[in-house]
Chain A
Amino acid sequence: MASDFGLKLDEAPQVATDLISSVKPRTSSRSTINTAESDRVAGAAGFTSREPSAAVAVAPYATPRRQKRPPEVRTPLSMSVPRSVHVRFRDFADERNLSYPDALEKLLNDSELLQRLERKV
């Protein structure tokens, strides 16, 4: 263990620079390797992707969920209307994916908005 105390008599080994100069950059490509096959075999041997795949943003429900509204005392409203009005009202609610109470509220809100605009004009 003479070398551990800096007393060794032999010269320190040198890197074989002649061998370094014999190594050249690649001139041919390895792109012929079938990477899909390589990945398949690697997967079978337990080599799997560690990178997160792109998240697929698909909502579990196709239809939008209705907003929850603050609780308010609810009162039944029952009325008999002409059939045509019934059909129009039902279609209005269906097209907007609204419940009948929400559809009625929207009609009232829109009506008030329209009145305010008419007053301004």
Chain B
Amino acid sequence: MVISTANPKGGSGKSTSTLVIATTLASKGASVCIIDADPNQPIFDWKTNGDSKSDVTVIGGVKEDGILSLIEAQAAIHQFVFVDLEGTASLMVSRAIAFSDFVIIPVQASAVDVRQAAKAILQVRNEERIMQRSNPDGRIPYRVLMTRTPAPGAPVSRSQKKLEAQIIENQILTFKTRLAERQAYKIMLNDRLTLDELTDAGNIEAAKENAVDLVNELLRIVTSLGSKEEAA
């Protein structure tokens, strides 16, 4: 299962979302690989310069020409391959989308994020159309993931409400679960640890619950997609 995290806008929460989901899956015994295709290499740095005991395999230093063969090779040996893509509209991004089974498009409540997310959705649809020339049943499903949202119970900003209204109006597919703004998510990247390994990072339990909810929703989506394909 190849899952890319894409939004041509930088700072939308791609690396954080990827790391939260991937390490949560790995902590439950899943075989997980992250291909860090972001030139800043935040997840490769997390793995190589940190002390985390997580079993997640992280591969960095990826080039446009090598990304497809790398995805293919890792997808053949891991249950989950996450591709953390760069925050630009590059060929690396479009090629990774073409080879993905599912695309997560993280979005913050800002006009720039939403415009760039629309670009990513358009590209997913373009790649899907190309795929369907050789495989009419081929699909590249996606979901928009709202990130850095207020924690449950906290006041919701006007821009957040406006974004949510626009998403509903445009029938954009989204995760029901949002990734809330949590200190723990920042600290896990800064201290290069997993949520389970954090000891002092705000409300860690709430951050873990949010991660589990998101992972379960992702699992429900991707496994139901698999059964539909098999039935087709």
- List chain A positions with a Cβ less than 8 A from chain B: 1, 3-4, 6, 12-17, 19-20, 22-27, 29-35, 37-39, 41-43, 45-51
Our pick among B92, B119, B203, B215 for the contact of A46 (Cβ within 8 Å) is B119
A45: contacting residue among B28, B86, B99, B126, CB under 8 A: B126
Q: Is the interface of B mostly helix, strand, loop or mixed?
A: helix
Contact A19 B134 (CB under 8 A): no
18 further contact pairs, Cβ within 8 A, besides A30-B99, A35-B95: A15-B24, A15-B215, A16-B216, A20-B28, A20-B30, A23-B223, A25-B75, A30-B98, A30-B131, A32-B134, A34-B134, A38-B130, A46-B119, A48-B90, A50-B39, A50-B64, A50-B88, A51-B63
Interface centre among A15, A41, A51 (most CB of B within 10 A): A15
The answer, among B92, B119, B133, for a CB contact under 8 Å with A50, is B92
B212 within 8 A of partner (CB): yes
**How many residues of chain B are within 8 Å of chain A by beta carbon?**
59
Which DSSP category, helix, strand, loop or mixed, fits chain A's interface? loop
Among the listed B2, B75, B90, which residue makes an inter-chain contact with A47, where contact means beta carbons less than 8 Å apart? B90
Query: Which chain B residues border A1 with CB–CB below 8 Å?
Result: 152-153
Contact of B220 among A12, A16, A48 (CB under 8 A): A16
B178 to chain A, nearest CB (A): 15
* Chain B contacts for A26, CB-based, 8 A: 1-2, 72, 75-76
Q: B206 contacts the other chain (Cβ, under 8 Å)?
A: yes
Q: Mark B49-62, 1 if CB is under 8 A from A, else 0.
A: 00000000000000
